[in-house]
Structure 1
Amino acid sequence: MSTLSQETQKLPITAQIGSFLISLLVGLIVGVIVLGAGQFFLDANALTETGAALGITDKTSWYFTRSAGTVAYLLLALSTVWGLLLSSKIIKESVPAVLSLAMHNVLAWGALGMTALHIGALLFDSYYTYTLADLFIPFVGPYRPEWVGVGIIGFYLMFLTTLSFYWRKQLGQKRWRKLHYLTFVAFAAVTAHGVMAGTDSGSPRMLALFWGSGLLALFLTFYRILAGKEASRRRKTA
């Protein structure tokens, strides 16, 4: 069992719950702080209109959900990449295990928190009328239901894989690891949702975000697979 897993399982249940709550709180705070960064990825017309509309208008919720969605995806991409860096042990020697794990938790819960804001803001949208069923049941919404549905499924998988860390001891290392592979499905689903349902997905900045994060995650995944095979070969020949 890895050092990271051993250190985590040594923590009492109260400390694990405390870590969970702190990670959630910090993730939400960080997400709110960087919410404005989402506007950087919006097209120039949206930025101009947003700057002109300093007060609350009928478009505010639309700008807010787009910004929150962008930041949520950015945090999810960072969480996925950080998780791959952890599992491939690239940062093992440079970052303490407890700190790297906490960082992974903050990014994951931050992504979930911003996704919740992204979803909630749609209830106040003035162009489409959304109900709670539209937002939580896949493939029934008024706007591009197939790709929004893929995003909803991705959100559920994000929540499941993030929450599963706190069941790690009960599930066992092997079962937990297999369950955690759903992170890749979640990332792919959310990426597809962003590309196909996002109104800004054709902008150069959003394309750079999607392609950059996707290719980086793909590269690290292949690196992890090859490094794992090499380590297994060395153990057999040792």
Structure 2
Amino acid sequence: MTATALWDFGRATGVVALVLLTLSMVLGVATRSGRPAPWLPRFAVTEVHRNVSLLSSVFLALHVVLLLFDPYAMLRLFDFVLPFAGNYRPFWQGLGTVALDVLLALVVTSLLRHRLGRRTWRAVHWAAYALWPIALAHALGTGTDSFSPWFLTLAVLCVLAVAGALCWRLSARFAERRTPARLETAV
């Protein structure tokens, strides 16, 4: 694979990861409501949320691996572990590292959800509300396409989607439906 292709795929996977994280955030709020979507039954909203979250993790992993081997990016392995230590725009790159760390915590606790218990899992899962704006800030601050019209349009659409979901979540119309205790273990 040529250096240009690595750079292009690295950027593209980051953009796709951001879009999927946005969709995951919106679906997460919808899942919490316990209501069916107009086109999906209630259980399917949860499954789509899980699958979109997993897919966003895959694209983020691809983003990291591709940029690790990209000669333009010149990232080092510890740039993905130690926030704010990078050579290129260290603050914005560090936000990406923080977002990666938070996503890893979410994935690990989701995989261990039945062993950790619902209360612990939920406490860690609240970090998703911090993950999304951190990832968006990383994309806007580090991305070479961050001020191009197509990316700004995409970023605005992502912000509107998440803001709409959060406004609904905080509104009086958001009535959280509790899952019966006997069904919580199956979820």
**TM-score, length basis structure 2:** 0.83
Relative to 1, partners in 2 of residues 1:159 and 1:96: Cα closer, same or farther, differing over 3 Å? farther
Aligned to 1:108: 53
Relative to 1, partners in 2 of residues 1:128 and 1:95: Cα closer, same or farther, differing over 3 Å? closer
**Within-5 A mapping of 1:1-238:** 56-91=1-36, 95-227=40-172
Determine if contact 2:32/2:176 at 8 Å carries over to the other structure: no
1:136 deviates by: 2.5
Q: Which amino acid in 1 is paired with 2:69?
A: F
Aligned to 1:17: none
Aligned equivalents of 1:101 and 1:130: distance in 2?
36
1:229 deviates by: 7.2
Structure 1, unpaired ranges of 5+:
1-55, 233-238
Between Structure 1 and Structure 2, the one with more helix by share is 1
Aligned to 1:29: none
Structure 2, unpaired ranges of 5+:
178-187
Aligned equivalents of 2:158 and 2:109: distance in 1?
24
**TM-score, length basis structure 1:** 0.67
1:90 deviates by: 4.4
208-217 or 62-71, which moves further after superposition? 208-217
Determine if contact 2:33/2:176 at 8 Å carries over to the other structure: no
Aligned equivalents of 1:200 and 1:219: distance in 2?
25
Relative to 1, partners in 2 of residues 1:128 and 1:170: Cα closer, same or farther, differing over 3 Å? closer
Q: Which amino acid in 2 is paired with 1:162?
A: V
Percent identity over the alignment?
31
82-91 or 196-205, which moves further after superposition? 82-91
Q: Which amino acid in 2 is paired with 1:210?
A: A
Aligned equivalents of 2:8 and 2:116: distance in 1?
41
